[in-house]
Chain A
C-alpha cells in the first residue's frame, strides 16, 4: 500500500473512529484474555519446570534390586563406568553422580542460630557430589574434600543445602517455630553454622557393626540446586570413604543416582530411551506430569480465549459490513477515479489491519495490567510458601509478537468478506448509492 492510500486509510479511520474503536474493543478483550492465560501458563511452566521440576535435568537410577537379577548376574551398577558413558553423549551437558550415605548416622547442633541445639537423623538425608560441580557457585573453594588433604583433615566437613530446603524452612519450619527467616544467605547467620554428626550410630537404634562410631564437625557453606532436595550434601570423597569404612566396598563404589543435564529439553526423550537401552531407569519424574498439567490448563483457557477472539472477529466483520454499506457511494467515487478492486480491498483491509494492531497492543496492555494486578494481590493476600514467585506471569517476546499478529490476522479475517464485497461492487452500482 502506497503512502497516498495510507492517507485515505488514516482519514477513514478518523472518520469512523467510534465504529473502529468498538471493533477494536472486542479484539482488546479477546487478545487480552488469551495473552493473560498464555502468560500465566508460561509463568507457571517457568516456575514449575524451570525451578521446581527442571525439565532438562534427569535423574538416572539403577533398577530396583531383585533376587532374580542378582542370581542371574544381570544387576546393573551405577559406577564410574556408567557415569563416563553418559557424560560422553553429545546431548549431555553434565553428569552429577550422587552417593548416599549407606549406614546409620545422626546429628545435633544449631544453638548459634536457634538458641538451642536440636537433634536430627542423618541417615537417608545426606549424600555426596563431586565438588567441581559447584565450583562456580560457592566462593573460595569452601566446598572441598579437606579430608583428602591430610594437612586440612581437621577442618569441618563442608555442607551445602538446596534452595528447596531453604524455602521449606522459611515457608513452614521457621514460621511454625518462630525461628528467624533466611533471606540473604551470605549475610545470614545461617551461613557458617556448625553442628556435629556421629557416623555409625542412629537415633533409630541402628548401629553399624563394621567400625566404631566416630564424630565429625559439619559446617554450612552454601546453597545450591545440586544439593540434595531434602537433606544435606557434602563432597563425594567423604561419603565414599565413610561408606567404605562403615558400609562396605560395594557401597563405596556404587552411586545412588546420576543426575544428568541435557543440552536441550528436547533431547530428554532420546536420552531417556538411551538410558533404558543400558538397562537403567529414569527416576520417577514429576516434571512430565506437571508439564502435562500446565499444558492442559493453558490449553483450556486458551480455547476459551480463542472463542472470544472468534466472536471479536465477527464483531469486526459486522462493523466493516456496516462501514462498507455506509461508504458505498464513496467507494464508487474511488472506483470512478481509477481505484481497482485490489485498491478498494487494500483500503478496507488496511483499516482492519490498523484496528487489529490497535486491538492487539491494547490487548497486551490489558493482559499486562491484569497480570500486574494479580501479582500485587497475590503478594498481599497469599501467605509465603516455598518458591513463592515475585510474578506468576511470563511475557516472552514471541508471545507479545504472536498476540499482536493474531489480533491483526483476526481483524483481517473479520474484514475479509466486507472487503471482498466492497471490491466487487461495480462503480456505477456503487455510485447509485
Chain B
C-alpha cells in the first residue's frame, strides 16, 4: 500500500490504472475484465448505453465500491488493499465526485455543503480557513453571494455549481462526474461544461466524466466507449 506522503510531491503517471476489473451485482456481471489508463491532467469522457457499466467504472475508480477482481491503482493508491478508514480518507482528500442529481444536503447552506468534506477530514482543519476556502470555491463557480442560502432553495444549475464547488474544495487530484448535465437544460448544461473545462485547464485536474451527451464528449480530450462492461475501440 502506498502512503499518501510518498506521493505528495509529484503524482505518478498514469494517475488511474485499472487492470482486469470485474464487478457483478448479484449474478449480473457489470464490468468484465476492464482495463483503463488515464494520465494526469486528462479530461476523459466515458459514454455508452444504459447498463454498459459506466457508473460502475466510475465508482470503482473513485473508491465508491470495490471490484470483485482486478487491480485498481488510483492516485498512487492500491484501492483493493485499503481498509475502510484509509479508503474514506482517499475519497476525502484525493478524489471528488459530481453527480447527476447533485446530491447536496438540502437543509445545509451552500457554504456548509461545500465544506462538507472538511467534516470528515482526518486532520481537523482550522474552521475559519475551511470557511474561507469554501467561500472561495463558491465564488469561483459564481455563487459567492449565495453562501448562506440553503441548498434546497437553489435552482438545478445553481445546485450543480455548488456540487462542483464542493468537488474543488479539497483540491483533489481527480474529479469524477456522473452525468453532470443530465438534469440540466441545454443552456445550463453548456455553462456547467464550460465551467468544468475552465477549471481543468486552470488547476490541471484530471476529470473523468460519464456522459450520454455529445457536447460533453466534444469538450473532452479523450472519449472512451463502454459496451457490456468492456471498453470498445
A→B interface (CB under 8 Å): 2, 4-5, 7-8, 11, 14-15, 329-330, 332-343, 426-429, 431
B93 A427 Cβ-Cβ under 8 A: no
Contact of B108 among A11, A329, A338 (CB under 8 A): A11
A2 to B125, CA, bound (A): 12
A4 to B121, CA, bound (A): 10
A15-B107, A337-B119, A337-B166 are known; give 9 further A-B pairs, CB within 8 A.
Answer: A4-B119, A332-B103, A337-B117, A337-B120, A338-B88, A340-B84, A426-B64, A426-B66, A428-B56
Judged by a CB distance under 8 angstroms, whether B140 is at the interface is no
Can you show 11 pairs from A to B with CB atoms below 8 A apart? A11-B108, A14-B107, A333-B103, A333-B116, A337-B117, A338-B88, A338-B89, A338-B120, A338-B121, A427-B65, A428-B56
- For chain B, the bracket of interface size reads 20 to 34
B105 A333 Cβ-Cβ under 8 A: yes
Write the chain B residue with the least CB distance to A6.
B119
Judged by a CB distance under 8 angstroms, whether B124 is at the interface is yes
A340 B64 Cβ-Cβ under 8 A: no
B→A interface (CB under 8 Å): 55-56, 59, 62, 64-66, 84-85, 88-89, 91-93, 96-97, 99, 103-105, 107-108, 112, 116-121, 124, 166
> Which residues on A sit within 8 Å (CB–CB) of B88?
335, 338-341, 343
The 6 A-B residue pairs whose C-beta atoms are closest, nearest first, are: A338-B92, A428-B65, A340-B88, A428-B59, A4-B119, A338-B120
> Which residues on B sit within 8 Å (CB–CB) of A333?
103-105, 116
A333 to B117, CA, bound (A): 10
Given A11-B108, A335-B88, A427-B65, is A340 in contact with B103 using a C-beta cutoff of 8 Å? no
B120 A340 Cβ-Cβ under 8 A: yes
The smallest beta-carbon distance between A113 and chain B, in angstroms, is: 76
**Residue of A11, A334, A338 with most chain B CB atoms under a 10 A cut-off:** A338
Contact of B64 among A5, A341, A427 (CB under 8 A): A427
B116 A337 Cβ-Cβ under 8 A: yes
A48 to B62, CA, bound (A): 70
The smallest beta-carbon distance between A232 and chain B, in angstroms, is: 75
B92 A337 Cβ-Cβ under 8 A: yes
A332 to B117, CA, bound (A): 13
Given A426-B64, A428-B65, A429-B65, is A339 in contact with B120 using a C-beta cutoff of 8 Å? yes
> Which residues on A sit within 8 Å (CB–CB) of B89?
338, 340
A1 to B92, CA, bound (A): 18
> Which residues on A sit within 8 Å (CB–CB) of B112?
7
A431 to B98, CA, bound (A): 12
The smallest beta-carbon distance between B197 and chain A, in angstroms, is: 23
The smallest beta-carbon distance between B110 and chain A, in angstroms, is: 15
A336 B97 Cβ-Cβ under 8 A: yes
B84 A341 Cβ-Cβ under 8 A: yes
A335 to B62, CA, bound (A): 12
A337 B91 Cβ-Cβ under 8 A: yes
> Which residues on A sit within 8 Å (CB–CB) of B120?
334, 337-340, 343
A93 to B62, CA, bound (A): 74
The smallest beta-carbon distance between B83 and chain A, in angstroms, is: 10
Contact of B85 among A4, A342, A428 (CB under 8 A): A342
> Which residues on A sit within 8 Å (CB–CB) of B107?
11, 14-15
B91 A335 Cβ-Cβ under 8 A: yes
A343 to B92, CA, bound (A): 13
The smallest beta-carbon distance between B32 and chain A, in angstroms, is: 18
A431 to B163, CA, bound (A): 15
A8 B91 Cβ-Cβ under 8 A: no
The smallest beta-carbon distance between A400 and chain B, in angstroms, is: 34
Write the chain A residue with the least CB distance to B124.
A2
**Residue of A333, A343, A429 with most chain B CB atoms under a 10 A cut-off:** A333
A342 to B117, CA, bound (A): 15
A2 to B117, CA, bound (A): 13
> Which residues on A sit within 8 Å (CB–CB) of B105?
11, 330, 333
A343 to B120, CA, bound (A): 8
> Which residues on A sit within 8 Å (CB–CB) of B84?
340-341
B85 A329 Cβ-Cβ under 8 A: no
B119 A336 Cβ-Cβ under 8 A: no
Write the chain A residue with the least CB distance to B89.
A338
The smallest beta-carbon distance between A425 and chain B, in angstroms, is: 11
A11 to B124, CA, bound (A): 20
> Which residues on A sit within 8 Å (CB–CB) of B118?
4
A336 to B91, CA, bound (A): 6
A15 to B106, CA, bound (A): 10
Write the chain B residue with the least CB distance to A2.
B124
> Which residues on B sit within 8 Å (CB–CB) of A329?
103
A427 to B96, CA, bound (A): 13
The smallest beta-carbon distance between B51 and chain A, in angstroms, is: 13
